[in-house]
Amino acid sequence: MAVKWGRWLDHLHLWVAFGACLSTGIYEPAELLVMATPLLAGGIVEGLRWDFGRQHRWLEAGALVFFLGDLARGGGVFYVAIHTLFVLAGVRLILPREPSHHPQLLLMSFLLFLTTAIGANDFYFLMWTLAWSTAATLALVQQSWEPSAALRRGALSSPPYAKVPVWVGGALLLGCGFFVIIPRLSLGLRPGAFLGAAQGLGRAGMSDRLDLAGAGPIEPNPEVALRILPPPGTDPLAQPEWVRGLLLLRGITLESIQGSRWDPSDLTPASPLTSSGPGPDATAEFLFSPSPRGILALPAGVTRLAPAELVLPRGPGASIRWRFQRERTVPLTVTWNPALPDRREPYLSPRRLELLTRMEPAHDAARRASFRLAPGILPTPQLGQVLESSLRRFTYTLDNPSGKAANPLEDFLERTQAGHCEYYASAMALMLRARGVPARVVNGYRLGTWIPEGGYFRVTQNEAHSWVEYWHEGRWWTSDPTPQGMAAAVSGAKELGIMGRWLDALSYRWERYVVRFSDQDQQAGLSWLQERIQGWQWRWKAPPAAVQWGLGVLVLAWLLWRTRGRWQVPADSPGRIRALHPLLRVTLAWAPPRPGDTARSWLLRLSTLRPERRGALATLADAVDGLAYGAGNPAASALAKAEAAAWRGWKPISPS
């Protein structure tokens, strides 16, 4: 069985390395196909037992041509190295393998896995790490076992594969111990620093721009953007007022439009922290995942951000950003007032007013739609409500049927009447501007799914959203014209099942207690342990003496039973056979049994001392064998006594 399956171990760790590469999400489908094809070819050749030994020159030349072509394509040296490693591994799997080739394949697999380990740090990558470690250990056991097994005689034994999980588990425990006690060190390495985002375009997510032109279908993106943890004792499901301020999380304001593109404006004032209004403030911990732009999505009416020493500069479009790009999830305590959902701005300068009502000839479709959908309504909040309800009768889709049109906004309003949230927000903002109402687009997130297993809201890039704010009588009013079915359409599914929620809760705990485990956490844990040890008192009451003695006897009996093979005399040893006791007594001084001696071996050794007794001793050995193994020879005792009488008084002759 070991020989049958051992030849597949070279394939196993390479496929696990491919799975780790696949889980990173940084490779295009075409690249993944290039990586998997050589491994598939190697598996087919292995399964069918084809011999390509004579074609090795052609395969090696093909690998060289692939390397040169991939290098000439200009995809980057790093990508070329990964592709080439997979091709070389496939060629090595296809060709006949000698013992020296197994370490080569393992080295290739290690290098491929190392490329994913540079930047991956989530909980799922731990599973891939354990899987690759197990596969690599199996291959190492096989490589160490084969040379020694070839030198053994008899039946071929199996390698100790059953011990591999124990070894990997021991290494994991040892690594956990070092993780806790070794001082923290962060290199801040991420794939984005030198790989680029291969699949960044065309995926759902918050952006600092909005452009309706030239875009194809939007791909769902389940990457977690942030998690929101209520304070202890807060039940969001039973406190709708607390949740109301989180339904829309503002990221950046877009006030300038040119054609079908919205951009932030330098005229937009910074967003200051508001003072507390009516009603109590609400507090939550926001855990922001790293993002290239570093924009913080926050609720309206924010009154305080903590820690206060954290530098959060104001960026374009009234956005709040990190000063430097973050490499890990960052916690931020946010306090806001749910009773202040809208922003107040009593005065708009003439330049600002002109910017917020500016339209171009390409926006005439929005002007026509505004008067068609809300005829005769003055610029009041009622106008916004009517336009919002009218647009909500359109169809929400990520397929983007108007993206390739010459005028995407006109195609959306007058032909398809189907699109995603950016179309709805852009259309409504322009329809309000057509009636003289200052309006702008806001990019941010909707509130995501509540994860009861972890006690937090989970906001992914699928919840990235655009909506409208319009100015009326000194304040900004919020309007969301996107149909309510948007959340289900973006996720492409139902709510997370219980398994998905548990996995997400595990990912959060991994992020919090492993990835973000800092020297402060280490010191706090050691301080907690020290306090418990110093304040600990012995309160255990000893059991009665009889119970203690009974437990001691049981432990001693268990130890004796476990070590019985070391102290028990074998059943066929001379000391265990009562019939031989007379002979033992007379010969014990100068011919005692040796460790491991059986009755026959001891008797035959006695025959070398007295050759004239060889026949009698052989007869006694046969009789004793029958007695020792249950054959029942009644003559054995008589023969042993006669032999003891023959040896009585005999002295070995000392050599002169």
pLDDT, tens digit, 9 for 90 and up, residues 168-179: 888 888 877 776
Nearest-angstrom CA–CA distance, 298 and 304 = 11
Please, which pLDDT band fits residue 493 given cuts at 50, 70 and 90?
very low
Please, which pLDDT band fits residue 606 given cuts at 50, 70 and 90?
confident
**Is residue 492 pLDDT above 90, yes or no?**
no
DSSP state of 512: I
Average per-residue pLDDT in the chain?
Answer: 80
pLDDT at 519: 58
Q: What is the rounded average pLDDT of the residues 36-59?
A: 88
Taking the CA atoms of the chain, what radius of gyration do you get in angstroms? 40
pLDDT at 274: 64
Nearest-angstrom CA–CA distance, 473 and 381 = 10
Q: What is the rounded average pLDDT of the residues 566-595?
A: 74
In the numeric block, the tokens 């790989």 are attached to 195
**Is residue 437 pLDDT above 90, yes or no?**
yes
Nearest-angstrom CA–CA distance, 65 and 295 = 45
Q: What is the rounded average pLDDT of the residues 619-639?
A: 76
**Is residue 206 pLDDT above 60, yes or no?**
yes
Please, which pLDDT band fits residue 539 given cuts at 50, 70 and 90?
low
Please, which pLDDT band fits residue 345 given cuts at 50, 70 and 90?
confident
Q: What is the rounded average pLDDT of the residues 18-42?
A: 85
What sections of 28-100 are H helices per DSSP?
29-48, 56-73, 77-94
**Is residue 217 pLDDT above 50, yes or no?**
yes
Helices 614-628 and 599-609: crossing angle, nearest 10°? Answer: 170
Q: What is the rounded average pLDDT of the residues 561-586?
A: 70
pLDDT at 278: 65
Q: What is the rounded average pLDDT of the residues 324-351?
A: 79
Task: Identify the top-confidence range among 102-106, 171-175, 354-358, 587-591.
Answer: 354-358
pLDDT at 525: 65
DSSP state of 480: -
Least confident of 135-144, 415-424, 479-488, 524-533: 524-533
DSSP state of 514: I
Please, which pLDDT band fits residue 202 given cuts at 50, 70 and 90?
low
Cα–Cα separations (whole angstroms), residue 412 to 230, 309, 443: 40, 47, 20
Least confident of 120-129, 247-256, 481-490: 481-490
pLDDT at 647: 86
Q: What is the rounded average pLDDT of the residues 469-487?
A: 82
Neighbours of 321 (CB within 10 A): 19
Nearest-angstrom CA–CA distance, 643 and 586 = 10
**Is residue 466 pLDDT above 90, yes or no?**
yes
Contact 434, 370 (CB under 8 A): yes
Q: Judging by DSSP bridges, how do beta strands 395-396 and 330-336 pair with one another?
A: unpaired
Phi, psi of 323, rounded to the nearest 5 degrees: -70, -40
Contact 423, 402 (CB under 8 A): yes
**Is residue 90 pLDDT above 50, yes or no?**
yes
pLDDT at 501: 83
pLDDT at 494: 46
pLDDT at 394: 93
What sections of 259-327 are H helices per DSSP?
none
More reliable by pLDDT, 411 or 546: 411
**Is residue 381 pLDDT above 90, yes or no?**
no
In degrees to the nearest 10, what's the CA dihedral of 600, 605, 611, 612? -40
More reliable by pLDDT, 112 or 185: 112
Q: Judging by DSSP bridges, how do beta strands 475-479 and 464-472 pair with one another?
A: antiparallel
pLDDT at 570: 52
**Is residue 7 pLDDT above 80, yes or no?**
no
Least confident of 58-72, 117-131, 286-300, 513-527: 513-527
Helix (H) or strand (E) holding 253: strand 248-254
Q: What percent of the chain has pLDDT over 70?
A: 80
Nearest-angstrom CA–CA distance, 635 and 627 = 10
Q: What is the rounded average pLDDT of the residues 595-606?
A: 84
Nearest-angstrom CA–CA distance, 444 and 480 = 12
Cα–Cα separations (whole angstroms), residue 382 to 473, 494, 627: 13, 34, 110
Nearest-angstrom CA–CA distance, 419 and 428 = 13
Q: In what order do the strands lie in the sheet with 330-336?
A: 302-306, 330-336, 282-288, 224-229, 456-460, 449-451
Q: What is the rounded average pLDDT of the residues 588-610?
A: 84
Neighbours of 474 (CB within 10 A): 10
**Is residue 264 pLDDT above 90, yes or no?**
yes
List the structure tokens of 613.
Answer: 């007794």
Phi-psi category of residue 581: left, alpha or beta, with phi > 0 → left and psi -120 to 50 → alpha: alpha
More reliable by pLDDT, 84 or 378: 84
**Is residue 526 pLDDT above 70, yes or no?**
no
Please, which pLDDT band fits residue 506 given cuts at 50, 70 and 90?
confident
List the structure tokens of 605.
Answer: 């050794």
Please, which pLDDT band fits residue 188 given cuts at 50, 70 and 90?
very low
Phi, psi of 38, rounded to the nearest 5 degrees: -60, -35
Helices 364-373 and 381-391: crossing angle, nearest 10°? Answer: 100
Please, which pLDDT band fits residue 71 given cuts at 50, 70 and 90?
confident
Burial of 377 (0-12, 13-18, 19+ CB in 10 A): middle
Q: Provide the b/e sequence for 82-113 (b: ≥16 CB within 10 Å).
A: bbbbbbbbbbbbbbeeeeeebeebbebbeebb
Please, which pLDDT band fits residue 607 given cuts at 50, 70 and 90?
confident
Least confident of 1-5, 204-208, 271-275, 469-473: 1-5
**Is residue 365 pLDDT above 60, yes or no?**
yes
- The pTM (predicted TM-score) of the whole model is 0.61
Q: What is the rounded average pLDDT of the residues 23-30?
A: 78
Q: What percent of the chain has pLDDT over 90?
A: 19
**Is residue 3 pLDDT above 70, yes or no?**
no
pLDDT at 576: 75
pLDDT at 510: 77
List the structure tokens of 571.
Answer: 């059943």
Length of the chain, in residues? 656
Helix (H) or strand (E) holding 545: helix 545-562
The answer to whether the bond into 316 is cis (omega within 30° of 0) is: no
In the numeric block, the tokens 């070279």 are attached to 10
pLDDT at 1: 41
Please, which pLDDT band fits residue 351 given cuts at 50, 70 and 90?
very high
Please, which pLDDT band fits residue 541 given cuts at 50, 70 and 90?
low
- Residue 444 identity: G
pLDDT at 189: 40
In the numeric block, the tokens 């609400």 are attached to 282
